[in-house]
Chain A
């Protein structure tokens, strides 16, 4: 149990919303959320279809623990084919939307087809209707939330929407829920907008029950909460500083990609760090950070709630940005800051607000601006393209200008909205794009943290830190410390993290719990809630099955082992400073062993034995 066992199928072409039972055989093999939705996607779409065409589908999926009291159990994912990578996209979001969807009685929503006109899906428990979206099309995510709340007179309604960037075809648009939580990566918002679907609004008052063994569930949930509270990272570091606790740490280990990954340490890191967010500002004596905030059921509460200095040039004439909103997480602070060389905390906070308001993935946006800055400094882009703006590394003004252009796809914003791979190709310098499979890196330089190089190269959704966060072991020593500069043992480490993460995601939990929780903490929570056996061993097996399924989809979509690589800059240009000085990422030392551990051929294909071992569909 714990699943509602109901899925909602929305055919946007026909305008129909139909309930159908959840495939429990698949639930038993893939658990929920990421894994289960991928199983549906694999079954229902041609992997070679146009990601932005009518044959792609988009699935919003909760996990069996979503909407329960299990700490962090509020998450949902969006699963579709990515317009950025051409492979599978799975973007995970917190906030409150996922739990509301579950509480309305739905495990997932499958969107298919394309609506002939802009619509939004409104769900009130079992009643789902497609509504005319002409009043909200062309509005930001923030305006959309406000308008839908008023239209439905339901303050408790939770909303996920796409902003103007997605409407204009930006390839890295996010789906934003609860104003500042996002299914951010791989352009899932772009897919949603391509279907003429502006928003999904949900009010769920049915609740989440069907817990297999409620007494044991609450015991394991309470025990789990205690472990999180007593752990230094989840109990102290993340609540106090958020993921921004990492800014200074990663900079010190020399794994802080800087100025489009040309360097591995950023001299301005301390100015944009979690600690800096606590410092009173000169102008009004208030710190950037107002307080921390939690997603649904989360007892860690790493979320940042921040303001921009009202005197700052970015908002001085814009009182609508003077209030609090979602502040900088580490990845955003890195992409918008270190990677562009900008050390102006207020500017980064403002740009982050705009990314939330109009639904851009701040990692890809920031990294694309960084690439554009390098192109500008190399003379490949000139003021002719930038409307006279000096698009130089370190320019906060240029960064703020860029985000405003990108939000509405105006002028050079349309070029930025291609993402760095297509941007650099367009301007003849493909080597300047810092991407894997077309998706930009996050905030850990694989020259300084070797395991992350393998994790990036093999991630099923392109460069990503959340598919196998070996930073945990290599930097933070969780579950045990490994040398970040060594490559030995990293293939096994990456695989273990990838598999465990797939299982955690698929339960509806947040991967940040794994700073404190092992599968021994997680398994009892799933096992007492869900029918079937969910021992730690079983979760690893399910996690690996999910990984293999995602890989299989990508291979069928046309990706090959040759795509499991990194840009030359990381493989050939040595780190210039810090502990990793002189090092490149030694991917070649790790990849063959990884393939072998995965049961793949030397060119990265699944062997028939592997396919049959995990019962993958033909």
Chain B
């Protein structure tokens, strides 16, 4: 059996391990486009702070890991797939055959339609190569404009702040991290950043980037203001890497479309991770989640189905995120924005930058979001995913949502005997 996994991010790497576990004799190839050993983008912010060196970002720390798993690692970019003949072509012109293929090519930053976005000194923050450029330009005292206050923008704020740059954040939406935080909590993150000396412009877009003599960049904002910067970081979002599949005939929507076994419209091809439009646990709909835990779970389910046939159904993933913005930890789970007809409760402490909201459908927790909560936060996932009926504890949580851990113990751990 020949398995080929395209994409060497977390989904690709975990898939090769699962394939090997289930099929000791198979021929397994992992194809990745970047020159480094498989690494984690999640770790880049910590590379930027010098908390780790490049090797600290590697997904597997043992140099012989892939050798041990008998996985061929190929550093090439896949350019096309021939679904008729079960083969794919890489940049170097090589043709490879597969029996089963997993597409785990991840995502890439989108390029916002801003004149001058291609100027030297404008960088994404996505790859290790990007990170190296940022390290070069983000010197103490440098002026840096960060376009986009989404997850990636926020998570690199700390590393930029530690580099003692003068930082300006420009976000089109009315708050920070709009895809995981509501108006209240998103603006609490904004005020937190402002207190830490970051200039934050929400409901603002960058209209143009102009190169000045002397290497500076002038960023003109929709508010009429302009900022001269040494470095502009573009972090306005990512989109699945699926150009290579454009002519393959695979069904494509927001991402590569899959069924409940993570199989694409071609029976021999599966998809996982940021490129995959998989099932959402809460909504039952198919969407690109682009988060680490989902990528890993996709990989395990897809690889299992590739080897064993369709015995493992993908029941969907709880969309969730955890983010550290200059030391303020935020998290969101599932239907954090609430559901029609559901109940919700919210605690807001602006002074201490603490926030917790819980969303219920009947007496089941379906979503949550928090600021400043670092202890036992995983039970929010546990309660959502187990669809535990909270019974009398729902009312207690409506009154004080911080009692979530007690509610969890009482409702899910029967031996505790406090239900």
B-binding residues in A (CB < 8 A) = 146, 149-155
A154 proximity list for chain B (CB < 8 A): 354, 402
B347 proximity list for chain A (CB < 8 A): 150, 153
Q: In the assembled complex, how far is the CB of residue B196 from the closest CB belonging to chain A, in whole angstroms?
A: 17
**10 interchain pairs (CB within 8 A)?**
A150-B399, A151-B349, A152-B349, A152-B352, A153-B354, A153-B356, A153-B373, A153-B402, A155-B402, A155-B403
B403's nearest neighbour on chain A, judged by CB, is A155
Bound together, the chains give a CA A153 to CA B373 distance in angstroms of 9
B399 proximity list for chain A (CB < 8 A): 150
Bound together, the chains give a CA A101 to CA B405 distance in angstroms of 24
Bound together, the chains give a CA A254 to CA B373 distance in angstroms of 57
The yes or no answer to B400 lying at the interface (CB within 8 A) is yes
Query: Which has the most chain B C-beta neighbours within 10 Å: A149, A152, A153, A154?
Result: A153
A153 proximity list for chain B (CB < 8 A): 347, 349, 352, 354-356, 372-373, 402
How would residues 261 to 293 of chain B score, 1 for a CB under 8 Å from any chain A CB and 0 otherwise? 000000000000000000000000000000000
Bound together, the chains give a CA A149 to CA B373 distance in angstroms of 14
Judged by DSSP, the binding face of A is helix
The 8 closest A-B pairs by CB, nearest first: A153-B354, A155-B402, A150-B400, A153-B347, A153-B402, A153-B349, A153-B356, A150-B347
Q: In the assembled complex, how far is the CB of residue B356 from the closest CB belonging to chain A, in whole angstroms?
A: 6
Bound together, the chains give a CA A175 to CA B221 distance in angstroms of 57
A149 proximity list for chain B (CB < 8 A): 400, 402
A146 proximity list for chain B (CB < 8 A): 400
Bound together, the chains give a CA A155 to CA B399 distance in angstroms of 13
A153's nearest neighbour on chain B, judged by CB, is B354
| B394-419 contacts to A (CB < 8 Å) | 399-400, 402-403, 405
Using A152-B349, A153-B354, A154-B402 as known contacts, list a sample of 5 further A-B pairs with CB atoms less than 8 Å apart, ordered by residue number in A: A150-B399, A152-B354, A153-B352, A153-B373, A153-B402
A156's nearest neighbour on chain B, judged by CB, is B375
B370's nearest neighbour on chain A, judged by CB, is A153
Q: In the assembled complex, how far is the CB of residue B376 from the closest CB belonging to chain A, in whole angstroms?
A: 10
Bound together, the chains give a CA A153 to CA B405 distance in angstroms of 13
Bound together, the chains give a CA A153 to CA B375 distance in angstroms of 12
A155's nearest neighbour on chain B, judged by CB, is B402
Contact count A vs B, C-beta below 8 Å = 25
B354 proximity list for chain A (CB < 8 A): 152-154
Bound together, the chains give a CA A152 to CA B351 distance in angstroms of 9
B356's nearest neighbour on chain A, judged by CB, is A153
| B365-404 contacts to A (CB < 8 Å) | 372-373, 399-400, 402-403
| B189-231 contacts to A (CB < 8 Å) | none
Bound together, the chains give a CA A151 to CA B402 distance in angstroms of 10
A151 proximity list for chain B (CB < 8 A): 349
Bound together, the chains give a CA A150 to CA B354 distance in angstroms of 11
Q: In the assembled complex, how far is the CB of residue B345 from the closest CB belonging to chain A, in whole angstroms?
A: 11
B349 proximity list for chain A (CB < 8 A): 151-153
B402 proximity list for chain A (CB < 8 A): 149-150, 153-155
Bound together, the chains give a CA A150 to CA B373 distance in angstroms of 14
A124's nearest neighbour on chain B, judged by CB, is B352
B375's nearest neighbour on chain A, judged by CB, is A156
Q: In the assembled complex, how far is the CB of residue B374 from the closest CB belonging to chain A, in whole angstroms?
A: 11
Bound together, the chains give a CA A150 to CA B355 distance in angstroms of 11
Q: In the assembled complex, how far is the CB of residue A61 from the closest CB belonging to chain B, in whole angstroms?
A: 27
B356 proximity list for chain A (CB < 8 A): 153
Bound together, the chains give a CA A301 to CA B129 distance in angstroms of 60
Bound together, the chains give a CA A152 to CA B352 distance in angstroms of 8
Bound together, the chains give a CA A346 to CA B162 distance in angstroms of 62
| B337-370 contacts to A (CB < 8 Å) | 347, 349, 352, 354-356
Q: In the assembled complex, how far is the CB of residue B405 from the closest CB belonging to chain A, in whole angstroms?
A: 8
B372 proximity list for chain A (CB < 8 A): 153
B400 proximity list for chain A (CB < 8 A): 146, 149-150
B355 proximity list for chain A (CB < 8 A): 153
Bound together, the chains give a CA A535 to CA B389 distance in angstroms of 58
A150 proximity list for chain B (CB < 8 A): 347, 399-400, 402
Query: Which has the most chain A C-beta neighbours within 10 Å: B347, B399, B402?
Result: B402
B376's nearest neighbour on chain A, judged by CB, is A155
Q: In the assembled complex, how far is the CB of residue B251 from the closest CB belonging to chain A, in whole angstroms?
A: 46
A131's nearest neighbour on chain B, judged by CB, is B351
Bound together, the chains give a CA A155 to CA B400 distance in angstroms of 10
Q: In the assembled complex, how far is the CB of residue A290 from the closest CB belonging to chain B, in whole angstroms?
A: 12
Bound together, the chains give a CA A152 to CA B356 distance in angstroms of 11
Q: In the assembled complex, how far is the CB of residue A121 from the closest CB belonging to chain B, in whole angstroms?
A: 15
B404's nearest neighbour on chain A, judged by CB, is A155
B373 proximity list for chain A (CB < 8 A): 153
Bound together, the chains give a CA A133 to CA B373 distance in angstroms of 25
B405 proximity list for chain A (CB < 8 A): 155
Bound together, the chains give a CA A234 to CA B59 distance in angstroms of 54
| B55-69 contacts to A (CB < 8 Å) | none
A147's nearest neighbour on chain B, judged by CB, is B400
Q: In the assembled complex, how far is the CB of residue A143 from the closest CB belonging to chain B, in whole angstroms?
A: 12
A146's nearest neighbour on chain B, judged by CB, is B400
Bound together, the chains give a CA A152 to CA B400 distance in angstroms of 11
Q: In the assembled complex, how far is the CB of residue A119 from the closest CB belonging to chain B, in whole angstroms?
A: 15
Q: In the assembled complex, how far is the CB of residue B73 from the closest CB belonging to chain A, in whole angstroms?
A: 44
Bound together, the chains give a CA A149 to CA B396 distance in angstroms of 13
How would residues 138 to 180 of chain B score, 1 for a CB under 8 Å from any chain A CB and 0 otherwise? 0000000000000000000000000000000000000000000
Bound together, the chains give a CA A153 to CA B400 distance in angstroms of 9
Q: In the assembled complex, how far is the CB of residue A192 from the closest CB belonging to chain B, in whole angstroms?
A: 24
Bound together, the chains give a CA A153 to CA B351 distance in angstroms of 12
A155 proximity list for chain B (CB < 8 A): 402-403, 405
B403 proximity list for chain A (CB < 8 A): 155
B355's nearest neighbour on chain A, judged by CB, is A153
A151's nearest neighbour on chain B, judged by CB, is B349
A152 proximity list for chain B (CB < 8 A): 349, 352, 354
Bound together, the chains give a CA A146 to CA B352 distance in angstroms of 18
Q: In the assembled complex, how far is the CB of residue B358 from the closest CB belonging to chain A, in whole angstroms?
A: 12
Q: In the assembled complex, how far is the CB of residue A26 from the closest CB belonging to chain B, in whole angstroms?
A: 35
Bound together, the chains give a CA A402 to CA B356 distance in angstroms of 42
Q: In the assembled complex, how far is the CB of residue A122 from the closest CB belonging to chain B, in whole angstroms?
A: 9
Q: In the assembled complex, how far is the CB of residue B59 from the closest CB belonging to chain A, in whole angstroms?
A: 33
Q: In the assembled complex, how far is the CB of residue A437 from the closest CB belonging to chain B, in whole angstroms?
A: 43
B405's nearest neighbour on chain A, judged by CB, is A155
B372's nearest neighbour on chain A, judged by CB, is A153
Bound together, the chains give a CA A558 to CA B373 distance in angstroms of 54
Bound together, the chains give a CA A423 to CA B197 distance in angstroms of 62
Q: In the assembled complex, how far is the CB of residue A150 from the closest CB belonging to chain B, in whole angstroms?
A: 5
Q: In the assembled complex, how far is the CB of residue A43 from the closest CB belonging to chain B, in whole angstroms?
A: 36
Bound together, the chains give a CA A556 to CA B356 distance in angstroms of 54
Q: In the assembled complex, how far is the CB of residue B52 from the closest CB belonging to chain A, in whole angstroms?
A: 26
Bound together, the chains give a CA A275 to CA B62 distance in angstroms of 64
Q: In the assembled complex, how far is the CB of residue A419 from the closest CB belonging to chain B, in whole angstroms?
A: 37
Bound together, the chains give a CA A150 to CA B396 distance in angstroms of 12
Bound together, the chains give a CA A151 to CA B401 distance in angstroms of 11
A150's nearest neighbour on chain B, judged by CB, is B400
Bound together, the chains give a CA A151 to CA B349 distance in angstroms of 7
Bound together, the chains give a CA A149 to CA B356 distance in angstroms of 13
Bound together, the chains give a CA A153 to CA B345 distance in angstroms of 13
Bound together, the chains give a CA A109 to CA B403 distance in angstroms of 30
Query: Which has the most chain A C-beta neighbours within 10 Å: B349, B355, B373?
Result: B349
Bound together, the chains give a CA A146 to CA B399 distance in angstroms of 10
Bound together, the chains give a CA A155 to CA B373 distance in angstroms of 11
Q: In the assembled complex, how far is the CB of residue A131 from the closest CB belonging to chain B, in whole angstroms?
A: 9
Bound together, the chains give a CA A153 to CA B346 distance in angstroms of 11
Bound together, the chains give a CA A385 to CA B201 distance in angstroms of 68
Bound together, the chains give a CA A146 to CA B403 distance in angstroms of 11
Bound together, the chains give a CA A149 to CA B404 distance in angstroms of 13
Bound together, the chains give a CA A155 to CA B396 distance in angstroms of 14
Q: In the assembled complex, how far is the CB of residue B372 from the closest CB belonging to chain A, in whole angstroms?
A: 7
Bound together, the chains give a CA A146 to CA B372 distance in angstroms of 20
